[in-house]
Structure 1
């Protein structure tokens, strides 16, 4: 039996980044694999876009961030500001989601029109084992998660109040540009 999940992805920070990123995601689980498909449009063009599902390790239901999460009033919702409603970064949608190695350079890059497609078939046993190692459970609980797409061009002027740098990756890489609630179909 196939389990199916989807998310309608809507823009976040669009008034500050100059484009309203949007798209969709689907997740199909069958025969110990998860097929992931993410389609995005109107993202900042020619830019690498980190994308992940976020959630709470205790199983609390995650919600999408809105402008209400801009607690410091700088006009941007940055990565740390999403955590109160969306939880923590969990699984990356990069070259190897089952490795759960979030900071890396294997995420999709948008084309000259600001579009990209991401497709990956993930071995579920490996993903669940790594998820259990990190979060103490192997239950992905996709319908309690949200998906985020991040990334703006390095030359976009951001206020110094934006937080979210991870290692060598600055706030341009981690700034959320779109978000969607994952639901069971």
Structure 2
């Protein structure tokens, strides 16, 4: 069994009006990956995309901070995270093993901004899709970071905030929290 965890800290908190935080636990047990994510103080009553990000070449990803706001608009948007965190890799939605990122199958926060997510993921299928998408790369969870995304559509975002994916605008993809995934125990 291999166990990984992340302490998820706020990103963009001052400008979105909430300091989203929480934790993630990843347990590799045989041919399964059990993912547990618990979040507090996220924007309420809305869906939150969540993924791990990283570099296909095996470089260790780091969390984005306010320093990544290269256009100085006050927001660290999705493209600004890429130099330190890499690309979006695995979604934590209804079917992570399919690696279908742009969809409406992510957790929804309650009226208090709380949500909990637990999913048992078939590791062989996830690994095969991951290798197909990222040129034979391995999951290497301890080289990844987790992002939680999503703000209310009513939040006024400047035109400089980028991050449109498929039919989803920057309100859906704006990072609100991030955590470095670390190995806890390795067998």
TM-score, length of structure 1 as denominator length = 0.99
Structure 2 counterpart of 1:155: 154
- 1:160 & 1:180 partners in 2: Cα distance? 27
**1:104-183 counterparts in 2 under 5 A?**
104-183=103-182
Deviations for 1:29-58, whole angstroms, at most 9, x for unmatched residues?
012000000000000000100000000000
Does structure 1 residue 43 correspond to structure 2 residue 51?
A: no
- Total equivalences in the alignment: 184
Superposed CA RMSD = 0.5
SS of alignment partner, residue 83 of structure 1? helix
Which consecutive unaligned segments of at least 5 residues does structure 2 have? none
Shift of 1:60: 0.2
In structure 2, the residue matched to 1:72 is 71
- Retained in 1: the 8 A contact 2:41–2:114? yes
How far off its partner does 1:137 sit? Answer: 2.1
Report if the CA contact (8 A) 1:129-1:138 is conserved.
no
Q: How far off is 1:4 after superposition?
A: 0.1
Deviations 1:130-164 (A, max 9, x none): 00100012520000000000000111111110000
What residue number does 1:27 align with? 26
SS state at 1:112 partner: coil
Gaps of 5+ in 1: none
TM-score (norm 2): 0.98
